[in-house]
């Protein structure tokens, strides 16, 4: 059996959880079958048993609105994915960027199509800031792909519920397979020099954020919460890759305002290499994930594997990763409306985040208990090897049905 993965992100070009998922899942699946990846970029390699073909793109002559270039660029690459012969028995899609490529492969090559849902466009209305009218197109493309897929993988039970609520899809076609972690790679390390390199004092405690600057990740709410945090600890924001110039400017203004009031706010405006990210997790006293929408939240799992207590918003798949009062604290959002972007009370959420962080920062024993429990939960329940086995079994069931 051969599986063909279609994806925007693949190493070395990874900026989010979907890319992490594809990287580790393909490596594990390659131990069980032949795996090919077609992705956005210039990669041409065979590594760890995975054959990788990147599709680059020259859009310099395009004169469409700049916020539509990513949409049309994705479609062009998806066409290119398919002009290279498809000889796989399964095509497996990741994020809307690859959906058109999967549709073409299913219809033209008669290949069963599996689609992993890492997020859902209707629950990310802030994407209109980034894509303009392209957001309407990505919503349509996602709906079309999900409803014609032979199997849909949801990364959490909450994502499955969202799929059933938002789309016309047979419940029997939806399979919950969580994201995972490599506990041999993600584990506690001692690397104070990496902290010093980024201006962090390794002798003082700190709260950590890791993620992109986007509405979804809730970073601005965390920055707003700083004014209600107790004194005596640093706040480290590993936050890069802003979605839009507008949110970048909003983030810059918010951080500058807080830095004028408090020392020890360090903003690292880049996506760190994995070894440095692991060092950041390991030395942090609390990791905070303030997402207002999160189908799974792999960053919480990374922090837990590095023995760090977590404060996270009680949304989506986070509730299936972080166990309240055992591996961290969950902070509720007002989600009376179906869109968390519209339902959230920014002042109350920021205050609640600060309260939870203050509680853990004041209780080292509780943090340590949560840190050890978090590591154990990551090891026991979220192995990539078991996720690969479940994915392989799903492929086999589809091929048997279509035989």
Using an 8 Å Cβ cutoff, are 19 and 51 in contact?
Answer: no
Question: pLDDT (tens digit, 9 = 90+) per residue, 60-98?
Answer: 999 999 999 999 999 999 999 999 999 999 999 999 999
Q: Taking the complete model, does pTM exceed 0.75, yes or no?
A: yes
What does the pLDDT read at residue 333? 84
What does the pLDDT read at residue 394? 98
User: In 10 A of CB 262, how many CB atoms?
Assistant: 13
For residue 124, give both structure tokens. Answer: 């990310």
Sign of CA dihedral 240, 243, 245, 246: negative
Question: pLDDT (tens digit, 9 = 90+) per residue, 7-30?
Answer: 999 999 998 889 999 999 999 999
* Domain 192-381 CATH superfamily: Glycogen Phosphorylase B; (3.40.50.2000)
Provide the pLDDT confidence category of residue 140 given band limits of 50, 70 and 90.
very high
Q: Is 399 helix (H, G, I), strand (E, B) or coil?
A: helix
Question: pLDDT (tens digit, 9 = 90+) per residue, 324-352?
Answer: 999 999 999 864 444 545 557 889 999 99
What does the pLDDT read at residue 345? 85
Mean pLDDT, the chain, rounded, equals: 94
Q: CA-based angle 272:275:281, to the nearest 5?
A: 80
Question: pLDDT (tens digit, 9 = 90+) per residue, 314-324?
Answer: 998 999 999 99
What does the pLDDT read at residue 342? 54
Shortest CA distance to 100 belongs to which of 67, 40, 135, 145?
Answer: 145
For residue 210, give both structure tokens. Answer: 């890791």
Q: What are the residues whose beta carbons fall under 8 Å from the beta carbon of 81, sequence distance 6 or more?
A: 6, 38, 55, 98, 101, 104, 105
Q: How far apart are CA 89 and CA 86, in angstroms?
A: 9
Question: pLDDT (tens digit, 9 = 90+) per residue, 196-255?
Answer: 999 999 999 999 999 989 888 999 999 999 999 999 999 999 998 888 888 899 999 999
What does the pLDDT read at residue 343? 57
Using an 8 Å Cβ cutoff, are 68 and 131 in contact?
Answer: yes
Is the CATH number of domain 2-180+383-402 3.30.420.40? no
More confident residue, 172 or 340: 172
What does the pLDDT read at residue 338? 46
Q: How far apart are CA 40 and CA 6, in angstroms?
A: 9
What does the pLDDT read at residue 164? 97
The DSSP secondary structure of 3-69, one letter per residue, reads EEEEES-BTTB--SHHHHHHHHHHHHHTTTSEEEEEEESS-EEEETTEEEEEE----TT--S-GGGH
Q: Boundaries of CATH 3.40.50.2000 in the chain? A: 2-180+383-402, 192-381
The DSSP secondary structure of 175-216, one letter per residue, reads EE----B-TTTSS----HHHHHHTT--TTS-EEEEEEESSGG
Using an 8 Å Cβ cutoff, are 213 and 247 in contact?
Answer: yes
Using an 8 Å Cβ cutoff, are 291 and 218 in contact?
Answer: yes
Average pLDDT of the residues in 41-55: 95
pLDDT at 257 over 60: yes
Provide the pLDDT confidence category of residue 187 given band limits of 50, 70 and 90.
very high
Q: What are the residues whose beta carbons fall under 8 Å from the beta carbon of 136, sequence distance 6 or more?
A: none
User: In 10 A of CB 5, how many CB atoms?
Assistant: 25
Using an 8 Å Cβ cutoff, are 352 and 311 in contact?
Answer: no
Average pLDDT of the residues in 371-389: 94
Question: pLDDT (tens digit, 9 = 90+) per residue, 108-132?
Answer: 999 999 999 999 999 888 888 888 8
The rounded percent of the chain whose pLDDT value lies above 90 is: 86
């Amino acid at each position: 059996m051969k599986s063909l993965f279609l994806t925007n992100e693949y190493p070395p070009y990874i900026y989010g959880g979907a890319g992490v998922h594809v990287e580790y899942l393909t490596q594990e699946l390659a131990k069980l079958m032949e795996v090919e990846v077609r992705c956005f970029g210039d990669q041409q390699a065979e590594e760890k048993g995975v054959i990788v073909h990147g599709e680059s793109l020259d859009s310099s002559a395009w004169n469409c609105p700049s916020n539509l270039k990513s949409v049309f660029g994705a479609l062009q690459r998806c066409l290119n994915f398919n002009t290279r012969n498809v000889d796989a028995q399964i095509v497996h899609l990741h994020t809307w960027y690859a959906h058109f490529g999967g549709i073409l492969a299913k219809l033209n090559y008669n290949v069963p199509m599996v689609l992993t849902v890492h997020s859902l466009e209707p629950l990310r209305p802030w994407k209109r800031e980034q894509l303009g009218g392209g957001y309407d197109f990505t919503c349509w493309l996602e709906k079309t792909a999900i409803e014609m897929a032979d199997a849909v993988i949801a990364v959490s039970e909450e994502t499955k519920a969202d799929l059933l609520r938002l789309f016309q899809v047979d419940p029997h076609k939806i399979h919950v397979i969580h994201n995972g972690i490599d506990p041999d790679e993600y584990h506690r390390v001692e690397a104070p020099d990496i902290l010093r390199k980024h201006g962090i004092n390794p002798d003082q405690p700190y709260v950590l954020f890791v993620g992109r600057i986007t509405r979804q990740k809730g970073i601005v709410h965390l920055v707003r919460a700083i004014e209600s945090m107790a004194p005596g600890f640093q706040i480290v924001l590993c936050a890069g890759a802003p979605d839009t110039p507008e949110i970048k400017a909003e983030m810059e203004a918010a951080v500058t305002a807080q830095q004028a009031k408090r020392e020890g706010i360090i903003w690292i405006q880049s996506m760190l290499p994995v070894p440095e990210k692991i060092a950041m997790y390991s030395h942090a006293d609390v990791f905070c994930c303030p997402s207002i929408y999160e189908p799974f939240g792999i960053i919480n799992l990374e922090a837990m594997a590095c023995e760090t207590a977590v404060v996270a918003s009680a949304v989506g798949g986070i509730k299936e990763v972080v166990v309240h009062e055992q591996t961290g604290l969950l902070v509720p959002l007002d989600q009376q409306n179906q869109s968390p972007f519209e339902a959230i009370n920014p002042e109350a959420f920021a205050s609640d985040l600060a309260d939870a962080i203050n509680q853990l920062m004041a209780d080292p024993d509780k943090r340590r208990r949560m840190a050890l429990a978090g590591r154990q939960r990551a090891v026991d329940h979220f192995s990539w090897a078991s996720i690969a086995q479940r994915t392989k079994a799903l492929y086999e069931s589809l091929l048997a049905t279509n035989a």
